[in-house]
Amino acid sequence: MTKIKFGTDGWRAIIAKEFTVDNVVRISEATGNWTKKNNITLQ
């Protein structure tokens, strides 16, 4: 599993090496879990 790196402009990754479908799923799940935990409503 590759480490996901964020910079000041967002996710820093090379397409198909670090920016993969699996990593997009990881980011999506983590964001969803964080918003649920913190009672955040996205609009």
> pLDDT digits over 1-43, tens only?
778 888 899 989 989 998 999 999 999 999 999 999 999 987 7
3-state secondary structure of 12: strand
pLDDT at 3 (0 to 100): 85
pLDDT at 41 (0 to 100): 85
pLDDT at 37 (0 to 100): 96
pLDDT at 19 (0 to 100): 92
Structure token pair of residue 2: 């590759």
Work out whether the CA dihedral 28, 24, 22, 26 comes out positive or negative.
negative
